[in-house]
Amino acid sequence: MRIVRYSRVGPAGRGVVIGDDVYELPTGSTEPGDLVGPVSGLALLPPCEPRTIVCAAANYAGQLAEKGMPHPDHPSFFLKSPNAVSAPNSVILRPAEVTRLEYEGELAVVVGRTARSVPAARAADYILGYTCANDVTAHDWRADGQWTRAKSADTFCPLGPWIETTVADPATLQITTRLNNKVVQKESTSDMVFDVAELLAYITRWITLQPGDILLTGSPAGVGPMSPGDFVEVEISGIGTLRNTVVDQHIAPSSLSSTALIGGESVS
């Protein structure tokens, strides 16, 4: 099942994608309701509203090899802030002070139930599904040690386009990132140093994750810069494609409210 959230007058809509169409998905139900319309005609919102976003660093064999890093003994994590979450087809804002903004295509795990001290063997029981993410990073600010702003500026965590709940094996997916239609990252999730279950087991020893929270699983080799005007896509086999455009923050149209940029609960 593919679960989407979309903008409409009033509370955000929640639906299920069947073919090219979206049907209403009442809260608490797994049965599709009335037809909403073609997914291409809806303003999609981020597919969930995480309270916590935990992110694995340097978790792909390709990236370790690229950077000459040794195989780690345990996963490394950092946080992204919920303010960074943005919608499919929305813009990624490049702050005026940033000269090198980077894409990081990643598999995002969406937590389905309260997860605390989850045994790796039972990780699947705590996962609602998977979506695509772009762990947008301001390289300048990471280099100067200010990871909080480097990873969590507004719009630095596009998610979507939907949550795919029927992924048989998250270790057999292909992640492809394209910049202006050119492939810049392509690697299998089988190349993860620590797999989804190991990551979830490790971090929930200390951080309780709630339904809708996000675990980013690290980016393949090929992380690189993107510039205003660039069109970036993160495609994951069996899930879908997340598309965003980069714009300069200082020239972003003032008529675009933060609601329009990141997808809010209502439209006027």
Comparing every residue's Cβ against Mg ion, the nearest one is 135
CB 99 within 8 A of CB 159: no
Cis preceding linkage at 75, omega within 30: no
Choose one: 120-128, 131-139, 172-180, 249-257; the region binding Mg ion (CB under 5 A): 131-139
Q: Three-state DSSP class for 139?
A: helix
Give Cβ neighbours of residue 3 (< 8 Å, ≥ 6 apart): 14, 15, 16, 17, 25, 47, 129, 162, 163, 165
Residue 219 Cβ vs Mg ion, minimum distance, rounded to whole Å: 4
The alpha carbon dihedral of 198, 81, 3, 42 has a sign of negative
44, amino acid identity: L
Q: Which of 135, 191, 213, 233 binds Mg ion (CB under 5 A)?
A: 135
Between 7 and 219, CB nearer to Mg ion? 219
Binding status of residue 104 toward Mg ion by CB under 5 A? yes
CB 38 within 8 A of CB 199: no
Applying the rule CB under 5 A, the residues between 215 and 234 that interact with Mg ion are: 219
Half-sphere exposure of 227 (CA within 13 A, CB side): 1
Binding status of residue 235 toward Mg ion by CB under 5 A? no
Residue 261 Cβ vs Mg ion, minimum distance, rounded to whole Å: 22
Between 46 and 218, CB nearer to Mg ion? 218
Report the length, in residues, of the chain: 268
Between 3 and 85, CB nearer to Mg ion? 85
Binding status of residue 90 toward Mg ion by CB under 5 A? no
Q: How many residues bind Mg ion (CB under 5 A)?
A: 3
Residue 216 Cβ vs Mg ion, minimum distance, rounded to whole Å: 6
Residue 136 Cβ vs Mg ion, minimum distance, rounded to whole Å: 9
Tokens 């029927």 sit on residue:
166
Neighbours of 260 (CB within 10 A): 17
Between 36 and 223, CB nearer to Mg ion? 223
Choose one: 8-16, 107-115, 127-135, 185-193; the region binding Mg ion (CB under 5 A): 127-135
Between 135 and 191, CB nearer to Mg ion? 135
Binding status of residue 204 toward Mg ion by CB under 5 A? no
14 Cα distance to chain centroid: 18
Report the C-alpha gap between 152 and 175 in whole angstroms. 22
Between 4 and 104, CB nearer to Mg ion? 104
Give me the residues that bind Mg ion (CB under 5 A), please: 104, 135, 219
